[in-house]
Amino acid sequence: MSFAANMYLYLAEGVVICVTNLTLLWCILSDARNRKRREFLLVAAQSVTDIFYGVAFMLIANLRLGLFYENKLTLTVPTSQCAFIPALWLHNMATPLLGLLPFTTSINFLVCSVAPLWYMRATHLYTFFLLSAPVTIAMSLTSLNALILIDNESPTAIICIAANGAAHHIVYHIMLFFRIIANLASAVIYFIIILYLKKTMINFMIYMIRYRELRNIILLKIIACLPKKWAIPLSMKIRSANEQSNAPKGTFATRSSIQTDRIPSSFDQQPRKSLGRRSSSIVNFNKSRILPKAAGPVSAGPLHLPPLPQRTQNF
């Protein structure tokens, strides 16, 4: 495959990445309810990172295609010139984030599984820390790379490849370290979560319900842009499929609900009569234990209640 064909593939890949992630980002941020959900904000942050990477792909492809058609691919430029082009800045920002944000999501999933009550009570400070930590690391590495190369006049290839001198080799390897090792650590954390969720499957179901909601929100947002003759049946089909995919009644059945299901149908025909007999026997039993028999008749005055009728003790 020729150099130009590779660059056109870069352009196509960048367009697909940007269109899909912009759609996802619009579905999340256009609804105030979604903006308040921590899981959706983490997904939105990953979408922004992918958009950075897609835009970097398109800018780099455009730069290299221009150099290709001008026959300048063999020229060199100072390293500082490559270090400050927007495409390389976006690339350097996205490289560590592509590992750190999935790692942050896995940590959030672990906290949700191990301490669900604390997770539900966690404030916006926890969400801010989840998002700010990886972004701060990526911005620090990108700024450090720029500071190191700001006065570097050593020649590098004009196509500005980060691995071949356009970025400082130590800083760039740290970026790759965060991208690769963080993704491997995420896989380990998810494996630990799977082992833990064998005992507490309810936490996994709660977390996955949120992502099912996100999927439905994206589909319904996209369908709403279609003509009504297509949008209405498609949205109804998605809603009906969502209702059918809900957990069965017995999954979350409590002891009281199970007992209610086991009551025979004859109870529905005479509910008051059976409850009345049962309640009267309990009242008689408790009354004999608590209320002593009066020695004589009780006078019925304005400050006294009428005497209780004498009843046989049913034990």
State the Rg of the chain over Cα: 34
DSSP string over 183-220: HHHHHHHHHHHHHHHTT-HHHHHHHHHHHHHHHHHHHH
pLDDT value of residue 255: 38
Residues 187 and 215 in one domain: no
Residues 165 and 209 in one domain: no
Any domain includes 285: no
Q: What is the pLDDT of residues 256-302, one digit of tens each?
A: 333 444 444 444 444 444 444 444 444 444 444 444 555 555 554 55
Whole-angstrom distance, CA of residue 15 vs CA of residue 8? 11
Residues 23 and 115 in one domain: yes
Any domain includes 14: yes
Q: Which domain holds residue 78?
A: 3-199
Any domain includes 220: yes
242-246: Cβ within 8 A, 24+ apart: 242/212, 242/216, 245/212
Residues 41 and 125 in one domain: yes
Residues 230 and 143 in one domain: no
Q: What is the pLDDT of residues 47-101, one digit of tens each?
A: 999 999 999 989 999 999 998 899 888 888 888 888 888 899 999 999 999 999 9
Residues 92 and 215 in one domain: no
Whole-angstrom distance, CA of residue 315 vs CA of residue 313? 6
Residues 92 and 178 in one domain: yes
Q: What is the CATH number of the domain that holds 84?
A: 1.20.1070.10
Any domain includes 19: yes
Looking at this protein, which amino acid is placed at residue 306?
Answer: P
Looking at this protein, which amino acid is placed at residue 123?
Answer: T
163 versus 189: the higher-pLDDT residue is: 189
313 versus 228: the higher-pLDDT residue is: 228
